[in-house]
Amino acid sequence: MVFMIDSHVHSVFRSLEDFETLGFAGLTDAVSVAFYPVVPSSPATLIDHFRHIIEAEPLRLSGSFVRVHPAIGIHPRCIPPDVQSVFEYMKKAVEGCVAVGEVGLELATNAELEVLRNQLKLSKEEDLPAIIHTPRKEKRAITAKIIDVLREIDYFNVVIDHVNFENIDLVADLDVYVGLTVQCGKLNPENLLEIVGKYVMSSPEKFLLNTDLGRDSSDLFSLPKAVQFLRVKNIDRRVIELISGRNASSLFRI
């Protein structure tokens, strides 16, 4: 069996039974990233959300056959007032995490850009990867802005996530990891196969698969299905192992 790591889930929205089922489907590890579904009215809301991910989730899910690894970060859609207090908490708490995330840009406002810069500086100081969201709308233009910020901070140990045909050429030659989200409304198995043929085969060490499982209606099995789909399409076993687990294992040191 190929060992599988999901590099981007929002475990707080999913049941223990979901992870138990995924464990039976071959998932060994998942990175649980932060996202709060309303704009927090106070920094404490987000700090408690981070505490939930770090202090409660790995323990809650430890009986599920899947090891869940925490990541904390301020998503561009949930920037609270007095964001500085959240940065102060993150500086202390991030050492217990495998990544800073999910961070990124949604509309690329000045406030979002400043929050992203600060979090990339923190990732760089702590030598932790950052998991960077690219939005559904204006994906290409906003990915270009994210790349400008990476150049400005001079930090590239990141996953640029939810990449699809709109923006993949922008990141294909950049020294970053590329997250491919196999999920309804994002990449389906056929889209993935096309990306694998065009981009992944030539540099399989930079791609990671994930599901973004969370509060939205999702296919729980989209990752194992994608892996099996690539297998029956005769994609090289070594390539499948890299993108479905080994790359995430080396990047997140898990």
Contact residues for Zn ion (CB under 5 A)? Answer: 212
Nearest residue to Zn ion, scored by beta-carbon proximity: 212
Q: Closer CB to Zn ion, residue 209 or residue 235?
A: 209
Q: Which residues fall within 8 angstroms of residue 25, CB to CB, at 6 or more apart?
A: 221, 224
Nearer to Zn ion, 18 or 212 (CB): 212
Closest CB 104 distance from Zn ion, rounded Å: 9
Nearer to Zn ion, 133 or 240 (CB): 133
**Exposed e or buried b per residue across 139-148, where buried means at least 16 C-beta atoms within 10 angstroms of its C-beta:** beebbeebbe
Verify cis geometry, omega within 30 degrees of 0, for the bond prior to 102. yes
The least CB distance from residue 35 to Zn ion, in Å, is: 6
Nearer to Zn ion, 132 or 243 (CB): 132
20 contacts 64 by C-beta, under 8 angstroms: yes
CB of 148 vs Zn ion, minimal distance in Å: 22
Q: Least distance (Å) from Zn ion to the CB of residue 34?
A: 9
- For 43-77, give the DSSP string: HHHHHHHHHIIIIIHHHHGGGGTSEEEEEE---TT
Output 71 or 120, the one with its CB closest to Zn ion: 71
| Token representation of residue 47 | 């700090």
DSSP per-residue string spanning 148-163:
HHHHHHT---EEE-S-
Nearest distance from residue 176's CB to Zn ion, in Å? 17
